[in-house]
Amino acid sequence: MRDMGRRQSLADISYGLVIGGLALLAVTIIVAPVVIVLMTSFTEGQTIKFPPKGFSLAWYEVLFDASKSRQIHRTAGNSLEIACFSTLFGVVLGTLASLGLARNRSRLARAADSFFMSPLVLPGITYGLAALVYFSLLGFRPSLDLMIAGHLVVTLPFILRTTTASLSQLDPALLDSSQSLGASWLYTLRRVTLPLIAPGIAAGAFLAFMASIDNVPVSLFLSNARTDTLPIRMWGMMESTLDVRVAAVSGVLITAAFVLMLVMEWTVGLTRRMRD
């Protein structure tokens, strides 16, 4: 009996060591690159090295200098414009579709729902190429409008997923009582449904916005020298010379993502929605 007890504790110790060690490695691999890029962006030197030489904001000054970094500012503006408009259209179309389909149990409605989610599984580069071929053969010239259309398709699933999830958690009794008290469909929507699903819509809009800012495959094919986005520009800077400004841009993006995520976590419980 005692012998068995000792064997068990040995097994438990090995379990703790192996599982704990691998989990620690996982956390290190997740966190270390982010921290190290942040640190290298404050270097005084002309090259990207770790540990960085000294501490200065020199590269951030170059980055925010309107004349020295005009290209970066222009592409960042493009990225923001595309992300804002594609998210805006996505929220309208996605919320409407979600209201129409979320509580509909028919086979057709389920199929439509998976169809609207499918851009998530389709390789982005295939859709990017398809969009390029389609718009070119239709005679469109590259423009921000086309980029907005392309980003709308690939970011819509994020909005649909969180909105549908919050609609299906909605107590149907609330809607029934609103309607049996004489409220019209539109009044119920405005005063009951929308306020209750607003956090879900906001979480989805945030994820879609970030996915658009981050998107490479669609932008890669639909942009030209005038309409390129920040990620495409950064890719170019990484492929040619390793400009330390890439580290500074990364620093700004890391900070922005961190702050936005904290705000979304406090207001709508973002991570809980992503886990469930």
Tell me which residue of 250, 234, 244 sits closest to 58, measured CA to CA.
244
Cβ atoms of 152 and 90 within 8 Å: the answer is yes
Candidate list 147, 234, 248, 268; residue touching other proteins; CB under 8 A: 234
Specify the residue, 4 or 66, whose C-beta has the smaller distance to other proteins: 4
Asked if 259 is part of the footprint of other proteins (rule: CB under 8 A), the reply reads no
Cα angle 240, 243, 249; round to 5: 120
What is the distance between the alpha carbons of residues 41 and 52, in angstroms, rounded to a whole number? Answer: 8
What is the distance between the alpha carbons of residues 64 and 66, in angstroms, rounded to a whole number? Answer: 6
- Which range touches other proteins (CB under 8 A), out of 35-43, 62-70, 163-171, 193-201? 35-43
Asked if 57 is part of the footprint of other proteins (rule: CB under 8 A), the reply reads no
Specify the residue, 67 or 138, whose C-beta has the smaller distance to other proteins: 138
Specify the residue, 3 or 67, whose C-beta has the smaller distance to other proteins: 3
- Which range touches other proteins (CB under 8 A), out of 54-62, 161-169, 195-203, 245-253? 245-253
What is the distance between the alpha carbons of residues 93 and 153, in angstroms, rounded to a whole number? Answer: 11
- Smallest distance, other proteins to C-beta of residue 66, A: 23
Asked if 103 is part of the footprint of other proteins (rule: CB under 8 A), the reply reads yes
Pick out residues in 150-209 that bind other proteins (CB under 8 A).
150, 152-153, 156, 179-182, 184-185, 207
Burial label, 230 (beta-carbon count in 10 A; 0-12, 13-18, 19+): buried
Cβ atoms of 247 and 41 within 8 Å: the answer is yes
SS3 25: helix
Asked if 214 is part of the footprint of other proteins (rule: CB under 8 A), the reply reads yes
Specify the residue, 56 or 118, whose C-beta has the smaller distance to other proteins: 118
Specify the residue, 21 or 195, whose C-beta has the smaller distance to other proteins: 21
